[in-house]
């Protein structure tokens, strides 16, 4: 964990002046800061000049950065690879996960989420992983989810985060963790008198696809549940635990009718595909997803025109998430200066951005996870299927803990996390420039006064209202 940055600076006798990293100079938040903060977990030292170097003009450079971020590869910085390498459970195959203690799996998975948000070069993918982890929320405390969520994170959410929505939805529908979380594994109809378990079918329509006002009826929920009967997952007491399979005897193989579409009898496993094909690219699904994406990237109350534009792009592209996002990032609402630094960071974003902006070294360990728990956003522990809220009122009560984070980070009081504060100030080129880096714009008079009067200027900056927003 120790590095030169922590051990001390180069001796004064042989000054090796590092160039200062670029910080915003203007009084207003610019487009570069905006995309780094919304499409990622904020600017790390050096991000700004790396983005600016992509093209001569700002708009063009931002477009290039977005295009690049939309095509993530497996490549990561060695530092992050090393930190993730210490979390051994991350790479365990599904069946092996059952050998681990659930609390260890949850801790490692949570640390990994934080480490990636802080350190991944594919910031937009991490934001989308965060988005889909809520959209397809699974609380690890239910049933065998603790053993299965790591595989869901790896093989469903991460693998499909930026692809086609239909693929993501299909993977989620047959994810062992989801079959546990929303009781799909118990949904069966071996005889005509048996009533299917509607839990997953309802959330599929209400939360994952059409949305609560999406125009479906109770009859659609029941028919959707019939399509899904018989899909189950082998529990931990059985051979090949965690394996998902269709038990034909428990599948209702009669004809179904969902949202006006006839699904013929004897479809077997094809019923699932027919159902998901129907809902994945339904206009109501496009509107529901566009609303949530705009809420995440534009603001708590996004303008209806932007939602319409994004929904249309989703439909036109047959649910291609890259094209949908590219369209979103080109809307006037997203690019408008009025949208910048207006969204309250959720606790996870607040913690990740503080670590990222300061270049802290961290193991993403228990003190940070504990803090997230106190702020009500412990990863993978949101209790209800709709996932953690994405609007400010849910999180305004967390300020005290954000201030505490700033204080402990600046004071080096977090075990497993270290920060070279004088080095950071020096690399920024002074306190005023560090303030601009953290606030996304040059500090104003009040901010400047508060920082210069404080014995812990970094804690003031990290606790300031401007830093709580992205």
Partner 1 sequence: MSAIALGKTPDDDRVLVTVFLRGGADGLALVPPVGDDGYHRARPRLGVPPAAALRLDGPFGLAPELAELHPWFLRGQLAVVHAVGSDDDSRSHFVAQELMERGGAAASGGWLGRWLRARGVTGALTAVTTGPEVPDSLRGAPSATALAGLMALAPGPEWSALCESLGGLYARDSRLGGPARDALAAAERVSKLRTEGVRPEHGARYPERREGEVAHAFGQQLAQVAALIRARIGLVAACVDLAGWDSHFAQETIVTPRLRALALGLSAFATDLGTALCRVTVVVMSEFGRRVAENASLGTDHGRGGVMLVLGGGTPGGMHCRWPGLAADRLEGPGDLPVVHDYRDVLAAVLARHGAVPPSTVFPGHQTRPLAV
Query: Is residue 392 a contact residue for partner 1 (CB under 8 A)?
Result: yes
Considering only the stretches 113-121, 147-155, 167-175, 446-454, report the one whose residues sit in contact with partner 1 under the rule CB under 8 A.
Answer: 446-454
SS3 letters across 141-189 = CCCCHHHHHHHHHHHHHHHHCCCEHHHHHHHHHCCHHHHHHCCHHHCCC
Phi-psi bin for 444: left (phi > 0), alpha (psi -120 to 50), beta? beta
CA pair distance 360, 117, nearest whole angstrom: 13
**Minimum distance between the CB of residue 400 and partner 1, rounded to whole angstroms?**
4
Degrees to nearest 5, angle at CA 241 with 186 and 272: 45
Q: Considering only residues 247, 248, 384, 391, which one is a binding residue for partner 1 as defined by CB under 8 A?
A: 384
Query: Is residue 394 a contact residue for partner 1 (CB under 8 A)?
Result: yes
Query: Is residue 397 a contact residue for partner 1 (CB under 8 A)?
Result: yes
Considering only the stretches 125-133, 283-291, 350-358, 445-453, report the one whose residues sit in contact with partner 1 under the rule CB under 8 A.
Answer: 445-453
Considering only the stretches 79-87, 392-400, 415-423, 426-434, report the one whose residues sit in contact with partner 1 under the rule CB under 8 A.
Answer: 392-400
Residues 6 or more apart in contact with residue 218 via CB below 8 angstroms = none
CA pair distance 404, 174, nearest whole angstrom: 41
SS3 content of the chain, % helix, strand, coil (to 5): 55, 5, 40
CA pair distance 53, 377, nearest whole angstrom: 36
- Measured from the CB atom, the residue of 109 and 259 that comes closer to partner 1 is 109
Query: Is residue 80 a contact residue for partner 1 (CB under 8 A)?
Result: no
Query: Is residue 465 a contact residue for partner 1 (CB under 8 A)?
Result: yes
- Measured from the CB atom, the residue of 13 and 453 that comes closer to partner 1 is 453
Query: Is residue 411 a contact residue for partner 1 (CB under 8 A)?
Result: yes
Query: Is residue 460 a contact residue for partner 1 (CB under 8 A)?
Result: yes
Q: Considering only residues 94, 280, 436, 459, which one is a binding residue for partner 1 as defined by CB under 8 A?
A: 459
**Minimum distance between the CB of residue 404 and partner 1, rounded to whole angstroms?**
6
Sign of CA dihedral 416, 73, 346, 358: positive
Query: Is residue 447 a contact residue for partner 1 (CB under 8 A)?
Result: yes
Phi-psi bin for 23: left (phi > 0), alpha (psi -120 to 50), beta? beta
Question: Of 277, 275, 311, nearest to 292 (Cα)?
Answer: 311
- Measured from the CB atom, the residue of 232 and 327 that comes closer to partner 1 is 232
Pairing of strands 361-362, 417-418: antiparallel
Specify whether the CB–CB gap between 253 and 246 falls below 8 A: no
**Minimum distance between the CB of residue 158 and partner 1, rounded to whole angstroms?**
22
Q: Which two tokens stand for residue 445?
A: 């008079």
CA pair distance 104, 438, nearest whole angstrom: 34
Question: Which string of x and - marks every residue 247-286 that binds partner 1 (by CB under 8 A)?
Answer: ----------------------------------------
- Judged by DSSP in three states, 111 sits in helix
Query: Is residue 142 a contact residue for partner 1 (CB under 8 A)?
Result: yes
Question: Which string of x and - marks every residue 173-192 that binds partner 1 (by CB under 8 A)?
Answer: --------x-x---------
Considering only the stretches 165-173, 277-285, 315-323, 388-396, report the one whose residues sit in contact with partner 1 under the rule CB under 8 A.
Answer: 388-396
- Judged by DSSP in three states, 104 sits in helix
Q: Considering only residues 144, 282, 395, 417, which one is a binding residue for partner 1 as defined by CB under 8 A?
A: 395
Considering only the stretches 31-39, 64-72, 80-88, 452-460, report the one whose residues sit in contact with partner 1 under the rule CB under 8 A.
Answer: 452-460
Query: Is residue 464 a contact residue for partner 1 (CB under 8 A)?
Result: yes
Q: How far is CA 429 from CA 51, 229, 434, 455, 459, in A?
A: 20, 63, 7, 19, 18
Considering only the stretches 12-20, 36-44, 253-261, 397-405, report the one whose residues sit in contact with partner 1 under the rule CB under 8 A.
Answer: 397-405
- Rg, Å, the chain Cα set: 24
Show contacts with partner 1 in window 322-381 (CB under 8 A): 344, 370, 373-376, 381
Burial code (b: 16+ CB inside 10 Å, e: under 16) for 321-336 equals bebbbbbbbebebbbe
Specify whether the CB–CB gap between 100 and 92 falls below 8 A: yes
CA pair distance 230, 269, nearest whole angstrom: 9
**Minimum distance between the CB of residue 381 and partner 1, rounded to whole angstroms?**
6
Count of residues of this chain found to bind partner 1 when the rule CB under 8 A is applied: 45
Q: Considering only residues 401, 414, 428, 434, which one is a binding residue for partner 1 as defined by CB under 8 A?
A: 401
- Measured from the CB atom, the residue of 113 and 459 that comes closer to partner 1 is 459
Interface with partner 1 (CB under 8 A): 139, 141-142, 145, 181, 183, 344, 370, 373-376, 381-384, 392-401, 403-404, 406-407, 411, 446-447, 450-451, 453-456, 459-460, 463-465, 468
């Amino acid at each position: 964990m120790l590095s030169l940055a922590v051990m001390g600076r180069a001796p004064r006798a042989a000054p090796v002046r590092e160039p200062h990293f670029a910080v915003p100079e203007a009084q207003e938040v610019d487009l570069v800061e905006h995309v780094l903060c919304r499409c990622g977990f904020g600017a790390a030292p050096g991000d700004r000049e790396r983005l600016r170097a992509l093209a001569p003009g700002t708009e063009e450079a931002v477009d290039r950065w977005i295009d690049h971020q939309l095509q993530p590869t497996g490549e990561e910085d060695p530092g992050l690879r090393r930190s993730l390498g210490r979390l051994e459970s991350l790479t365990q195959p599904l069946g092996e996960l059952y050998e681990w203690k659930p609390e260890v799996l949850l801790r490692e998975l949570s640390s990994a989420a934080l480490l990636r948000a802080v350190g991944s070069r594919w910031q937009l993918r991490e934001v989308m992983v965060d988005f889909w982890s809520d959209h397809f929320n699974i609380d690890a405390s239910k049933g065998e989810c603790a053993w299965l969520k790591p595989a869901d994170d790896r093989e469903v959410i991460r693998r499909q985060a930026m692809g086609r929505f239909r693929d993501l939805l299909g993977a989620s529908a047959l994810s062992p963790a989801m079959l546990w979380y929303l009781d799909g594994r118990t949904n069966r109809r071996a005889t005509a008198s048996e009533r299917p378990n509607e839990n997953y079918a309802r959330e599929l329509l209400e939360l994952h696809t059409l949305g609560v006002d999406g125009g479906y009826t109770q009859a659609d929920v029941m028919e959707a549940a019939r399509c899904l009967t018989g899909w189950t997952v082998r529990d931990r007491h059985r051979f090949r635990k965690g394996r998902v399979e269709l038990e034909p005897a428990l599948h209702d193989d009669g004809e179904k009718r969902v949202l006006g579409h006839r699904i013929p009898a004897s479809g077997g496993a094809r019923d699932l595909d027919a159902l998901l094909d129907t809902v994945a690219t339904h206009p109501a699904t496009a509107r529901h997803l566009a609303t949530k994406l705009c809420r995440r990237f534009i603001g708590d109350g996004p303008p209806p025109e932007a939602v319409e534009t994004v929904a249309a792009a989703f439909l036109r592209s047959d649910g291609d998430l890259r094209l949908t996002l590219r369209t979103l990032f080109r809307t006037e609402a997203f690019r408008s200066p009025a949208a910048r630094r207006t969204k309250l960071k959720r606790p996870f974003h607040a913690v990740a951005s503080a670590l990222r902006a300061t270049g802290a070294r961290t193991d993403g360990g228990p003190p940070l996870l504990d803090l997230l728990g106190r702020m009500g956003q412990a990863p993978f522990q949101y209790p209800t299927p709709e996932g953690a809220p994405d609007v400010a009122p849910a999180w305004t009560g967390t300020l005290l803990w954000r201030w505490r984070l700033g204080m402990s980070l600046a004071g080096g009081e977090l075990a497993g996390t270290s920060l070279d504060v004088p080095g950071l100030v020096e690399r920024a080129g002074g306190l005023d420039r560090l303030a601009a880096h953290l606030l996304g714009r040059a500090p104003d008079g009040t901010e400047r006064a508060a920082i210069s009067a404080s014995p812990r200027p970094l804690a003031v900056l990290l606790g300031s209202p401007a830093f709580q927003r992205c």
